[in-house]
Copies of this chain bind each other. A is one copy, B any other.
Amino acid sequence: MFGVTILGNNSALPAYDRHPTAQLVTLNEQLFLIDCGEGTQMQISRYRIRHSKIGHIFISHLHGDHYFGLIGLITSMGLLGREHPLNLYGPASLIDIITLQLKVADTTLPFSLIFHPLEKEGLILDHPKYSVSCFETRHRIPCWGFLISEKRNPRKIIREKVIEYEVPAAFYDQLKIGLDYVSKTGVVVSNELVTTPNIPDSSYAYCADTKYTESIAEKVKDANLLYHETTYLKELEERAIARFHSTTIQAANFAIKANAKKLLIGHFSSKYEKLDEFLLETKTVFHNTELAIEGVSYRID
């Protein structure tokens, strides 16, 4: 299971019961939180998500609509007795803010908060089953996007065949990476007989807040699901440029450049009550688009 659940889809000002940015990526049993606007802990409760399962939090930049809910979430985790470590990735100053807020409250967290400052593009988390890398976007202040990739084995076991050829379960992991099995009596079971090619790795690209910038497309090439902001409809392109944000058409053109399989749009300006037009406009250029709607989960595959 690889997917993303939207907890907040609005830009700077909360409006029409839309919340500032927060997204929860589920990757098998892991939960990654990307950005954490004000009220994210309430949204987590509302959608009955177990925040104890969040192991890693990624903060794109230090505009409030992307992190004002972080300190509340962290202190609530502490009040609820969390003991296992929490990894936090974000701009270097983020930890100064949190440290100051904990200090004035005379609060010591009952778990380790492991902070990883974002300083250069590249791999920030590497695990046998997944990896996360960060890349710079173009915003008014330093801002990072995140690329989360599920690592898959190149081969997938055919259950009936491994039984038929009597391959011991202990050898399955080696079959998955393409090795042949040689029995104790020297009989060779060719890998192709007991496995099939697996589907390729999947990836989710979160492009945070950014003005339209083609060069970023290279960094998120071929993403299965690409999240790109559409703060404004196309008629406000000048405003989007001035404020380092993007329009529907720009997000769609970016998705084409990046060769994304699917596009997810969000970070809607609070000037818009209805969102239908966002979807219509974006689809005129990139058809496989969905609106990021709070409480909805989108599969990544």
Contacts and interface: CB of A to CB of B under 8 A. Distances in A.
B14 A42 contact: yes
A207 to B, nearest CB: 19
A164 interface: no
A256 interface: no
A68 B69 CA distance: 8
Interface in A94-148: 94, 96-97, 100-101, 104-106, 140-141
Given A12-B79, A13-B76, A100-B97, A38 B69 contact: yes
A100 to B, nearest CB: 6
A293 interface: no
A3 interface: no
B38 A80 contact: no
A45 B14 contact: yes
Nearest to A75: B64
A72 interface: yes
Nearest to A93: B104
Nearest to A40: B38
A71 B76 contact: no
Contacts of A15: 45
A105 B14 contact: no
Nearest to A102: B64
Nearest to A80: B13
A76 B14 CA distance: 9
A129 to B, nearest CB: 32
A96 B106 contact: no
Contact of A68 (B63, B71, B93, B96): B71
Given A12-B79, A64-B71, A100-B100, A106 B45 contact: no
7 contacts: A14-B42, A14-B45, A38-B42, A63-B105, A64-B75, A97-B101, A105-B141
Given A38-B38, A38-B68, A64-B101, 5 more contacts: A13-B76, A14-B41, A38-B39, A91-B104, A96-B100
